[in-house]
Structure 1
Amino acid sequence: MEGTVLKRIRGYTKALSITLWVVIFAFIGTTFLVWGFRSASGPGGETGSIAAVEGEQIPYAEYQQAYQRQYRQYQEKLGEKFDEKILEQLNLKGQVVEGLIGRRLLLHEARRLGIVISSDELVAEITTMPAFSDATGFNRARYLQTLQSARLTPEKFEEGLREDLLLRKVEEWVKGGVHLLPDEAWEAFRFNRASIKAEYIVFSDPKAQQTAIQNVVGLAKDKKPWEEIVRTSGLKPLVSASFAWDRDLPQIPDQERFKETALAMERGAISPIVQGAKVSYILRVIERKDPDPAEFEREKAQFSLGLLGRKREQVFADWIRQARARAKVKIETANL
């Protein structure tokens, strides 16, 4: 049963149709802005669904509203440069569908984990929203008036908000279990600030050079000298300029993979084969200059905080992908 406070917030209002979710959520900035928004009915009497997640249908009307909202956002952002061909290149339809699927998946995971939002939590969220407050704090009349302006009933608004809070709680639950290992901040700082020079062999046509690559791989695994690896490759090694993570290496195709590999290596170490989209490499670090530990100590707190945030985002994204992979999802492509 809902608490007395929540009932007082709602008051007594007549039922209103649901057509302008985006108005309210533009005010309060909830996860509806990421995943899309829900509606009990769609424009034009559209029927059918665009997908099902664990047997739960995603109505076409919900997809249509989410698509239109994203469409308008691109229009506003691009202005005169807006072209519908850009939306096709971005696969906007697919993005919207996956967003709605992702929302359903997280709600499903919340139920599986037993995560709930109490009436007290819902009341606390509503009563701290600036859109519903005046100089003295939460204003019930303003709350009802704002909802009425958006043609929302309190029940429908609170239903959507409760789901938003569930999504937030699931995210917090996943991220809350992620922490930095004892030396992780220093190793990341070292990776980002080190200066490296590498000697490398380029396999410009990996498919045609598979035999040479396999021979080199075997020598590298057996920890043979670099000079023997070079002779076996039959190729002339090249030497890079000194570089750090943020320095461009225009002469090296697939440089992100190249830098990522080299910066994780110690001086004198030989890499495994680095497979890029265009070429493959094997490389040896010939010079390495690490950052001053005193510099790390000065920046440790702020750097660690940023690193932890990125790690939590990555873990959460991986967790969602895993949930997506094991879920029963069916997309009705004919309805898009």
Structure 2
Amino acid sequence: GPAHRESAMLSQIRERATGWIAWAIVILISIPFALWGINSYFEGLTQVNVATVDGEEIDYQIYQNALSERRRVLLQSLGSNVDPDLFSSEEFKRQVLDGLIDDVLLTEQASRYGYRISDAQLASWIQSLPQFQRDGAFNAELYADTLSRVGYTVAQFEQAQRRQSTFEQMRNGLTDSAFVTDADVDSMLALLYQERQADYVLFTPEMFTGDVEVADADIETEYETNKSRYRTPERLRVEYLELSVDGLAEGIEPNEEELRQLYEENIGRYRAPEQRRASHILITVAEGADDEAVQSALQRAEELSALAREGADFAELARENSQDTGSAQQGGDLGVINRGVMVEPFENAVFSMSEGEISEPVRSPYGYHVIKLSELVPERVRDFDEVRDQVRDQERRRQAESQFIDLSESFRNLVYERPDSLQPASDELGLEIKQSDWFTRSSGDGIAADARLREIAFGEEVLEQELNSEVVERGANALVAMRRLEHASAQPRPLDEVRDEIRERLERTQAASLAVKKGEELVAALLAGGEWATLVAQTGREVEVLPARRRDAVGEARDVAALVFSAPAPQGGAPAFGGGAIAGERYAVFRLSGVTLGNPEQVDDPERERVAGALQRRRGFEYFLSFQTGLRQRADIKVYAEQL
């Protein structure tokens, strides 16, 4: 209810954050603020604790903020793939609380170890952040204003960064202390570059669909047992207001005089860079070609360059000789070229040539090019008429962003202060109240395509209390508030409507079980001494050969490779057999005939360094986890589960 909204400080910060600058600040402060920068806001409120850590209290509001933040991150990264029930699960709640407990322990330990950041270091870091700079230099007024815009004082921000810095110093000290030996790296490379000789057969549900029969009684039992599976989903429609930079820009129309003035003031933006029109003849060189092939291609390119310089028609030479089939038909013409488009050797040659010049052969990753510079288009300033629409759109955007910053606070306040209606905000700000289509908890169109908005719409405030939602961000430059319009509960679907669906489900389930059964029977027979070729032939399945290197396996072979490369190596010269379920309810049975470890001496230095770095980071992470576990074991932690 409203009390909850009054306490949701991180949410309010996000509501007030506009544009990339404010979002950058939110990212900087969100972690330490969740735990440390919030207590002053709740003075005078009754404090309920969810845990204490060595006497340090974690109160309910901090915990709720952490839950909200974790939900937001998961919804943004996974969208509709997130099970909505996850967020109400005890496991999810406990994971979030455990994260807060670890934050307290680690920050306290960092303080005990004496990790510090000096005033000079903190100031230097803050002054280096581009979001606090104007014309390349730190601006104190911009610094304070930007923090204020996201609901943070300079003192709060700097204190939060001090705490975060000490924590990171301690963590980095632990992780960076991990080391790996050359022998460690050699062992890992031997495993990474090993080759395994294996083949396999697959058993799939499709093989057995003709062998299963689903009785009507089975269908009825499934329907009665799992009625919740055969229901129309709960649905919702909302009405909503959206304050956005794009929407505001549509209502802005700068006059012609303003546009011309802006053009003159920013004329440097409207320079068209130098361009070049070129044609080429390509003689390709295959990747990994030997010296003889390279020399042959170079010799042919030199002959064509000489012919062109002696006056032969370049376009005709290209049509007859160029191995770039796309441009050859146009006489080698590549059109107008801008910098940064072509590969570097080709571009460097083109932009160093004179008009009409024909080059010596130029080597690129594709082969040898003979280039003719057909035309040089010098840099110029575009006329106002050419860029008028661009100037107008930029000015619309600039004004809209300014209005958005000015109006976002009013939007938030109006939605919050009149929780029973969106009309006051609509009237005051001139925004149209729109209506969504029907949507479910897991999918929707329009604004309901956003998983975060769906979660809020189906939350207690909107669905049950029929209040305005909190103000929610859609990207960096749009704010949305919703309220319930229509709601339809989930309803059972009649058995006759879902009979075929159930039959298909049961057939698939039974066929998948048969696939596993047949696969396991084959594995058992092989382990009992049966001969591979004979037993496989009896199944009627085709044998597939697995690529020797795991990284070469694609599609279904990748899933099989995961089984094969985790199996013990064969012993005593005899093949090893095994099997397991893979994606698509399939079952793979494999024969592993041999394992050849990789040779670390054949791995180049960059790859060796990459593997060594990955090993060091993993070992450092393990050190850190071990350290964290030790802190927990020694700490006095009390969790008040009834408050979660």
TM-score (normalised: structure 2) = 0.36
Higher relative contact order (CA 8 A, sep 6+): 2
Indicate the SS of the match to 1:57: strand
Give the counterpart of 1:307 among 597, 615, 629. Answer: 615
Superposed displacement of residue 119, structure 1: 1.9
Partner of 2:56: 56
Q: Kindly indicate whether residue 602 of structure 2 is the aligned counterpart of residue 294 of structure 1.
A: yes
Partner of 2:627: 319
Query: Matches of 1:115 and 1:299 in 2, distance apart?
Result: 35
Q: Kindly indicate whether residue 636 of structure 2 is the aligned counterpart of residue 334 of structure 1.
A: no
The verdict on how the C-alpha distance between 1:31 and 1:100 changes in structure 2, with shifts beyond 3 A counting, is: farther
Partner of 1:181: 181
Query: Matches of 1:129 and 1:169 in 2, distance apart?
Result: 19
Q: Does the aligned pair in 2 maintain the 1:189–1:296 contact within 8 Å?
A: no
Indicate the SS of the match to 2:112: helix
The verdict on how the C-alpha distance between 1:298 and 1:124 changes in structure 2, with shifts beyond 3 A counting, is: closer
Partner of 1:155: 155
Structure 1 residue ranges without an equivalent (≥5): 1-17, 199-233, 270-275, 277-283
Q: Does the aligned pair in 1 maintain the 2:130–2:136 contact within 8 Å?
A: no
The verdict on how the C-alpha distance between 1:160 and 1:309 changes in structure 2, with shifts beyond 3 A counting, is: same
Query: Matches of 1:43 and 1:26 in 2, distance apart?
Result: 27
The verdict on how the C-alpha distance between 1:172 and 1:267 changes in structure 2, with shifts beyond 3 A counting, is: farther
Query: Matches of 1:291 and 1:90 in 2, distance apart?
Result: 48
Partner of 1:86: 86
Query: Matches of 2:187 and 2:43 in 1, distance apart?
Result: 54
Superposed displacement of residue 235, structure 1: 5.1
Query: Matches of 2:642 and 2:135 in 1, distance apart?
Result: 52
The verdict on how the C-alpha distance between 1:77 and 1:128 changes in structure 2, with shifts beyond 3 A counting, is: same
- Which amino acid in 2 is paired with 1:169? Q
Structure 2 residue ranges without an equivalent (≥5): 1-8, 199-526, 533-544, 574-579, 581-591
Superposed displacement of residue 30, structure 1: 4.2
Query: Matches of 1:161 and 1:34 in 2, distance apart?
Result: 7
Q: Kindly indicate whether residue 59 of structure 2 is the aligned counterpart of residue 70 of structure 1.
A: no
TM-score (normalised: structure 1) = 0.65
The verdict on how the C-alpha distance between 1:154 and 1:141 changes in structure 2, with shifts beyond 3 A counting, is: same
- Which amino acid in 2 is paired with 1:87? F
Indicate the SS of the match to 2:155: helix
Indicate the SS of the match to 2:57: strand
Query: Matches of 1:104 and 1:92 in 2, distance apart?
Result: 19
The verdict on how the C-alpha distance between 1:260 and 1:78 changes in structure 2, with shifts beyond 3 A counting, is: closer
Query: Matches of 1:132 and 1:30 in 2, distance apart?
Result: 13
- Which amino acid in 1 is paired with 2:149? S
- Which amino acid in 2 is paired with 1:112? R
Query: Matches of 2:32 and 2:141 in 1, distance apart?
Result: 29
Superposed displacement of residue 31, structure 1: 8.0
Query: Matches of 1:327 and 1:285 in 2, distance apart?
Result: 52
Q: Does the aligned pair in 1 maintain the 2:53–2:105 contact within 8 Å?
A: yes
Q: Does the aligned pair in 2 maintain the 1:35–1:103 contact within 8 Å?
A: no
Superposed displacement of residue 267, structure 1: 7.3
Superposed displacement of residue 297, structure 1: 4.0
- Which amino acid in 2 is paired with 1:72? R
- Which amino acid in 1 is paired with 2:142? R
Q: Does the aligned pair in 2 maintain the 1:36–1:99 contact within 8 Å?
A: no
* 1:242-253 matched pairs, under 5 angstroms: none
Superposed displacement of residue 328, structure 1: 1.9
Partner of 1:120: 120
Partner of 1:190: 190
Instruction: Decide which moves more: 63-72 or 169-178.
Output: 63-72
Superposed displacement of residue 189, structure 1: 1.2
1:196-238: CA deviation from partner (whole Å, max 9, x where unpaired): 469xxxxxxxxxxxxxxxxxxxxxxxxxxxxxxxxxxx95599
Q: Does the aligned pair in 2 maintain the 1:127–1:138 contact within 8 Å?
A: yes
Q: Does the aligned pair in 1 maintain the 2:102–2:628 contact within 8 Å?
A: yes
Query: Matches of 2:571 and 2:176 in 1, distance apart?
Result: 37
Superposed displacement of residue 326, structure 1: 2.6
The verdict on how the C-alpha distance between 1:249 and 1:156 changes in structure 2, with shifts beyond 3 A counting, is: closer
Superposed displacement of residue 60, structure 1: 1.2
Q: Kindly indicate whether residue 24 of structure 2 is the aligned counterpart of residue 27 of structure 1.
A: yes
Indicate the SS of the match to 1:188: helix
Query: Max radius of gyration: which structure?
Result: 2
Q: Does the aligned pair in 2 maintain the 1:194–1:288 contact within 8 Å?
A: yes
Query: Matches of 1:171 and 1:309 in 2, distance apart?
Result: 12
Indicate the SS of the match to 1:183: helix
Superposed displacement of residue 175, structure 1: 1.3
Q: Does the aligned pair in 1 maintain the 2:105–2:631 contact within 8 Å?
A: yes
Query: Matches of 2:531 and 2:28 in 1, distance apart?
Result: 52
Aligned pair count? Answer: 271
Query: Matches of 1:137 and 1:175 in 2, distance apart?
Result: 34
Instruction: Decide which moves more: 241-250 or 301-310.
Output: 241-250
1:34-89: CA deviation from partner (whole Å, max 9, x where unpaired): 99443113599452111111111111111111112222333444445555213245
Q: Does the aligned pair in 2 maintain the 1:50–1:60 contact within 8 Å?
A: yes
The verdict on how the C-alpha distance between 1:78 and 1:261 changes in structure 2, with shifts beyond 3 A counting, is: closer
Indicate the SS of the match to 1:98: helix
Indicate the SS of the match to 1:127: helix
Partner of 2:145: 145
The verdict on how the C-alpha distance between 1:237 and 1:334 changes in structure 2, with shifts beyond 3 A counting, is: farther
1:133-162: CA deviation from partner (whole Å, max 9, x where unpaired): 222221111110011112222221112111
Give me the identity figure in percent. 20
Q: Does the aligned pair in 2 maintain the 1:35–1:102 contact within 8 Å?
A: no
Higher strand share: 2
Q: Does the aligned pair in 1 maintain the 2:191–2:597 contact within 8 Å?
A: no
Indicate the SS of the match to 1:51: strand
The verdict on how the C-alpha distance between 1:244 and 1:159 changes in structure 2, with shifts beyond 3 A counting, is: same
Superposed displacement of residue 290, structure 1: 2.2
Superposed displacement of residue 194, structure 1: 0.8
The verdict on how the C-alpha distance between 1:238 and 1:303 changes in structure 2, with shifts beyond 3 A counting, is: farther
Instruction: Decide which moves more: 39-48 or 324-333.
Output: 39-48
Indicate the SS of the match to 2:603: helix
Partner of 2:134: 134
Partner of 1:7: none
Query: Matches of 2:183 and 2:77 in 1, distance apart?
Result: 42
Q: Does the aligned pair in 2 maintain the 1:32–1:164 contact within 8 Å?
A: no
The verdict on how the C-alpha distance between 1:173 and 1:237 changes in structure 2, with shifts beyond 3 A counting, is: farther
